[in-house]
A and B are shown apart, each in its own frame.
Chain A
């Protein structure tokens, strides 16, 4: 079955002009007004373009929700630096539950390229690198074809766009790890400061943006900053989102809708509700954040509303978890993911994630006591805010939220001497690559035997 990609609620911005048929070739994109905005931008001064982005209050779609225009304004002007200025587009899309950038590259690749050119003009950069995760084969081919076509049509001007393929490492989505990887190194984050805006790729000023953020730029110019700033949930969450709806829902897919729709609306009205059983929890923003519980379903999908509940909009993930799911197994599998993806540079993350997995394994199999819950919470505490990048936090936050929000279910594992769902949990025995023969030395199956 193909991925469902729809404009659920207008206005159509990122998917503007897409009606089921991918706009892959130049003509089809031109037919919907493609590349008109770069022309418009080039008629403006870089400062004017940047100001438009600032005024639209477009914010980062990659996870951190940082104001995109502000970030661009941090880039020094070329006459102030000896080095070239770079743009790197973050197409590493690896946050569990996220699959929108991929659809952008498949459905409207030229809009991404046009966005790159607008950003390049805004910060007077001549070199754009698009870092696309290595697993995205078709996406790479489609985007590369579009790039060639655009280049052949002379649309790139004096800007070179290079598409660089990753090789399988979630951490390379973190902006400084991405830069390291692009420089041909192990993808380990750098400590900041210095920030990429001043010392990024090859120690030169570098702007890093997510695919969706960049793809919004032509739209901002098209509809105008003022109008864009009114869309969604102004003032802070403007524009639309490509929400990634997945999990136990009837109609999973990528839905473009304005910021501010409620989670309930997305899951039940747009997504067709929960086919089997009842909703138990929602993974909102991505697996890196605390989970949402049904009582919070009416929260709006915008930064402020979620923020009040200690939740995050992240990369627009909404993954429904129904009541056939063991939440301890969920927490375990999430922790396993971060253990597997920890880069190994800083201590709390490298060691803490593995330790969490050991604890959750023990709890899941009933080989623990209630006291262990608090130890786990304390370990989370000792990871959060102390790592080199926020991957450590991303492991700790969901785990901690599961324990605090589902403590009874955790208890049940102790009293029951194992998972009360038995074989019926959808996540029962779910295998994780941590235990897989990756590279020598072979990771041993993590023992939960107490020594």
Chain B
């Protein structure tokens, strides 16, 4: 790449050189000069010049100019409020106007202390108000959803939120209503603002107009300790801040990683954190005591019991993993059961391979693609939401998006990707420059690495199961694991919630959340990232008791993530240390990765005759954490079956009508939703509404009594 062409301009008498095309605001910043802004936000598309906070004097232009709308030009001479009285008056005027109707309720405003309006008023604003009439008043605050409240009096109409809704998430739900002084932000007919990304507007809003309800009157910015970590709820691994006050997580915010999330996070990552404080949280070990049911026991008692069960299993131990464990937890568990009991059997949610390493690229590269194939039939918004935003951005940049065939970027979301193998083969055929596979869980790849690192022996299928060790809530929630438990002599469940552990375990050990763990996880790009403990768990974390159990079994596993990671890293991550991973982890290259992978032909999914192929997906808003966050319930998927326009027509099913799906002797009746973008031949249903449906399904209109 050749060096970018430079332009030379003068800002407040200072000579500045920036690459051609740099915005004036950024150019000034590079010269250490602030051009204050409200509505300007490059991530929202072209500047709109609405708020007039950025007024500057530009030589040769009669009027003050909105600096945010200008790009640096050669020979441009710019004076900001610092050196131009005219610009200073302009900015002062803008702030006076903004404050004319802005309520001065800062003392009770959650934005207070981190409010751009406060800060800019402090720097550029009038000292006193000349507004002696009644301010505009509106009903306030009004919920625009269970998670977000809107204060129309505080709103300064910068249109950031509505531009986000229109041009970033493209949901078109949050809009401006009315004209002039009466303009307000609104949804349609007071419907809740629904979708995977709504929470981002609370971070975009430069005032206290759009606020997260969970955080309402909970803390002051200066009482908060912001902990940098990554989200552990999906395979994207968005970078986040977790705001902690007195050992309690108060709020989750984006921590812009330009290659992963561009500063956006989904509502699950943002709002689901309150599951930490769920009422049914397990904090002590629980043991089944003969004829007396379950009772809490001491950790010593629990570990003694666990040791008994491990030994009694005589090497017939199966570990059912969740896929959300840290690399370190997975490795420690592997060492325990492999080293300690000679068992090698792990039940992973799926086998994720390194097949795609040769096509590895940052998610941000999607935005520059010319043609993108989104394969696998499960919407990215459900499996890896932020990836959907990258694809949308690519489309806005002119990319073609297809659901089959060749492309320069492939993204597989849904069943049949075979841990990346299938995708790698397609990528090879298509000569793709980048390919992504969306695993079913947040750390599938890291766990595969860790398990491999723990031993090179092949797992031997045990004829019977002595002990089933269920690691984590997703595993505990998995019907297949439950089925396995039927065949096991004994079951140990590690879980955060009574709801998942009660009833089927001989021993329950308290689990922790990704927000309570130190360690590493590997996202869908293959990027190794650092997970930080944001709050103390109410119980010892997994590494602690695993290492004690291991010690009893004569295996040496350190109780600290740092040490365990060092061991794993030496084997699979080129020996980098915890410290080297970095706050915004780079995507470490796998240059020597093989571009050709041999893979056995894919087994055809069982077909029971005609009908449509059922695509049954795990919705974004589902799972043990989400189920425990009351204010997210409105986001749960409708009882709907998505049909392509063709199939709907062929079966004479109207949008919104009831349709009965039948497979074998299972049948379910759902509302039909005709989706113009869905490919023919499939019917898509959220797992929680699919009942016992499997394979192919027949459509029929329900017989109404």
Contacts and interface: CB of A to CB of B under 8 A. Distances in A.
Nearest to B94: A347
Contacts of B179: 169, 186, 341-344
A355 to B, nearest CB: 6
B182 A443 contact: yes
Nearest to A169: B179
A344 B180 contact: yes
A385 B51 contact: no
A348 B94 contact: yes
A348 to B, nearest CB: 5
Nearest to A447: B134
Contacts of B69: 191, 193
Interface in A428-451: 438-439, 441, 443-444, 446-451
A350 interface: yes
A387 interface: yes
A357 B177 CA distance: 22
Nearest to B136: A354
B49 A344 contact: no
A346 interface: yes
17 contacts: A186-B179, A191-B69, A339-B180, A340-B180, A341-B180, A344-B178, A344-B180, A346-B50, A347-B53, A347-B156, A350-B181, A353-B180, A354-B180, A355-B100, A386-B94, A441-B138, A449-B133
A386 B52 contact: yes
B157 A449 contact: no
Nearest to A385: B63
A62 to B, nearest CB: 20
Given A382-B96, A451-B134, A351 B101 contact: yes
A441 B150 CA distance: 15
Contacts of B137: 444
A350 B180 contact: yes
B297 interface: no
A450 B131 CA distance: 9
A271 to B, nearest CB: 34
B519 to A, nearest CB: 48
A303 interface: no
A447 B63 CA distance: 34
B94 to A, nearest CB: 6
Interface in B79-110: 89-90, 93-94, 96-98, 100-101
A170 to B, nearest CB: 10
B66 interface: yes
B41 to A, nearest CB: 15
Given A169-B179, A344-B178, A386 B93 contact: yes
Interface in A402-431: none
Contacts of B157: 344-345, 347, 350
Interface string B48-67: 11111101000000111010
Contacts of A355: 97, 100, 131, 133
A186 B176 contact: yes
A209 B70 CA distance: 26
B182 A441 contact: yes
Interface residues of B, number: 44
Contacts of B66: 191, 388
Interface in B581-616: none
Contacts of B97: 347-348, 351-352, 355, 382
A446 B137 CA distance: 11
Given A344-B179, A441-B138, A441-B184, 9 more contacts: A342-B181, A344-B157, A345-B48, A346-B51, A347-B50, A385-B64, A386-B64, A441-B139, A443-B181
Contact of B55 (A341, A375, A386, A448): A386
Interface in A308-326: none
A82 to B, nearest CB: 12
A451 B181 contact: no
B183 interface: yes
A343 B101 CA distance: 17
A387 B52 contact: yes
A169 B52 CA distance: 23
A382 B89 contact: yes
B174 to A, nearest CB: 14
B132 interface: yes
Nearest to B51: A347
B133 A362 contact: yes
Contacts of A386: 52, 55, 63-64, 90, 93-94
B217 interface: no
A358 interface: yes
A209 B180 CA distance: 26
A5 B311 CA distance: 107
Contacts of A345: 48, 50, 157, 159
Nearest to A341: B180
A351 B98 contact: yes
Contacts of B139: 441
A351 B90 contact: no
B132 A451 contact: yes
B130 interface: yes
A340 B181 CA distance: 8
Contact of B178 (A383, A385, A387, A438): A438
Which A-B residue pairs are the 4 nearest by beta carbons?
A191-B49, A382-B93, A344-B183, A342-B180
B47 interface: yes
B178 A351 contact: no
Contacts of A387: 52
A339 B131 CA distance: 17
Contacts of A193: 69
B181 A439 contact: no
Interface core residue of B48, B53, B137, B179 (most chain A CB under 10 Å): B179
Interface in B604-663: none
Interface core residue of B48, B69, B132, B176 (most chain A CB under 10 Å): B132
A450 B182 contact: no
Nearest to B101: A351
Interface in B413-458: none
Interface in B129-149: 130-139
A144 to B, nearest CB: 28
Interface string B14-52: 000000000000000000000000000000000111111
B176 A344 contact: yes
Contacts of B181: 339, 342, 344, 350-351, 353-354, 443
Nearest to A349: B180
Contacts of B138: 441
Interface in B318-349: none
Nearest to B134: A447
B45 to A, nearest CB: 13
B48 A347 contact: no
A322 B391 CA distance: 65
Nearest to B96: A382
Contacts of A340: 180
Contact of A347 (B52, B64, B130, B178): B52
Nearest to A391: B180
B48 A191 contact: yes
A387 B65 CA distance: 9
B601 to A, nearest CB: 46
Interface core residue of B49, B50, B180 (most chain A CB under 10 Å): B180
A191 B64 contact: no
A383 B132 CA distance: 18
A446 B181 CA distance: 11
A351 B63 CA distance: 20
Contacts of A385: 62-64
Interface in A370-409: 375, 382-383, 385-388
A274 to B, nearest CB: 35
B47 A191 contact: yes
Nearest to A338: B180
Contacts of A351: 97-98, 100-101, 181
Contact of A348 (B52, B134, B136, B177): B52
Nearest to B68: A191
Contacts of B178: 344, 438-439, 441
Interface in B543-593: none
A1 to B, nearest CB: 33
